[in-house]
Every structure is written in structure tokens, then in C-alpha cells.
Amino acid sequence: MSDTSARTTNQPEALAREYERRFAAKADYRRQVWATLTRDVFQRYVPESGAVLELGCGWGEFINQIRAREKHGMDLNPDAAARLAPGVRFHPQDCSVRWPLADNTLDAVFTSNFFEHLPDKASLAATLREAWRALRPGGRLVCLGPNIRYLPGEYWDFWDHYLPLTDRSLVEGLELSGFSIERVLPRFLPYTMSQERTPPLWMLSLYLRLPIAWPIFGRQFLVVAVKP
């Protein structure tokens, strides 16, 4: 169920065309999928009275639907601004440079299928440092993404995939950036929503209630890190 988000190496206009090409036909389905995921999985990591930022917010499927007092979205896709719900503050910038947020102000940072679009590990390390700086002590960085250990060929079928990651390499990078690791699922969700498959939503709800199925069908990791 991968998403394409803002990338530091592409021009904003190219990002807009890319996103439109991959996802416009299934925008409503994607919104419904993310409504289920935010409710059943990710809301537990985001306090409703807190502040959350989504890296690579795209068309806002997550950040528009998560419940929080203060919401931020960051992306280089210029179309994102028009897609975000009222009250979501948009930051159209490179995620590896300083964020326009004070230290210790966020309760959660969320990212889905974004890190693989960064050009190199130096950019990822800079992004992780910014997340650590902006999070309050006890705040969480929640990372969902394709695990190259389980899809080494398909991973490269997308033009804009640059940085191969596994759950283990990401955990190491997070720990080197000062985070503690709260949860690691090497295999969580199936891979992609950019192809023709659109399973009924009841199947997604059932899948989320059956962890025994995750090691069979899951090819995306879920890593949750905490700022001590």
C-alpha cells in the first residue's frame, strides 16, 4: 500500500504529475483505506490533544483524517496545499533542512512510504535529526515503508525510488540519531496501492485484526521510535 510523497531530488511540477498519474483514479479508495488505517492503527500513536507532522503528506490522506489539536504537513508537491483540510499547516520544503518548528513542540511525526524517495542516507540522517529536535521528550516517530528484504525486485519498479531500506537499517539509523525503539514489525502491510488491486475495505479491517497473516502478506515495515 505504498504512497509516493515529496522528494528532495525532483522538481515540484514533476512530483505533481507523478502523483496525478499514479493515484488520481483511486483517490477516493485511498482516502477510505487511510480512514481505516488511521482509526485502527495509527491514532494510538497520536494524542488527540497533541501536535503531529506528516512527512511527505501528499494529498493528505493521513493528516486530514488523524485527530489532533495541531496538524502539519510537509511535501514538495505543490498540489498538496489545495488537498489539505482546513487547519492543517502546510510546509512546502525539503525535509532535510531545518523545519520551521521550535524544539520540543511535536508529539508525533508520521511518515508513510517516503524515506525511499530521499536521495541518500545523509538526507535521511538530516531528516531524522530534525524529527528528533522537533519532537517533545516522549514523542514518537512512526515510520511505514517498503522493506527491500521482502521485495528486492518490485522495489525498483518505481522511477523515484532511490534509497533501499530494511527495518533493521532504519532502526540502526534511528538509534544513531538518538531515538529509542518502541515497536518493530518487519512485515506489516501489503505493498502497494498504485497498481490495479483494490481489495474491499472489509478485507483490510479483517487483515488488521489477524496478526498471524502479517508475516505472510506483509512487505512493508512498521517502526515506531521514541525520543527519550
Kindly tell me if the per-residue pLDDT of 7 is higher than 70. Answer: no
pLDDT digits (tens, 9 = 90+) for 105-156: 999 999 999 999 999 999 999 999 999 999 999 999 999 999 999 998 888 8
pTM for this structure?
Answer: 0.88
Assigned CATH for 12-226: 3.40.50.150
Give pLDDT tens digits for 23-49. 555 678 889 999 999 999 999 999 999
Where in the chain are the domains? 12-226
Enumerate the β-bridge partners of residue 143.
Answer: 111, 223
pLDDT digits (tens, 9 = 90+) for 204-219: 999 999 999 999 999 9
**Residue 165: pLDDT over 90:** yes
Tell me which amino acid residue 129 is. R
pLDDT digits (tens, 9 = 90+) for 9-25: 456 665 545 555 555 55
Residue 186 scores a pLDDT above 50:
yes
Render pLDDT for 56-114 as a digit per residue (tens, 0 to 9): 999 999 999 999 999 999 999 888 999 999 999 999 999 999 999 999 999 999 999 99
> Which residues have a Cβ under 8 Å from the Cβ of 23 and sit 6 or more positions away?
3, 4, 30, 58, 59, 193, 194
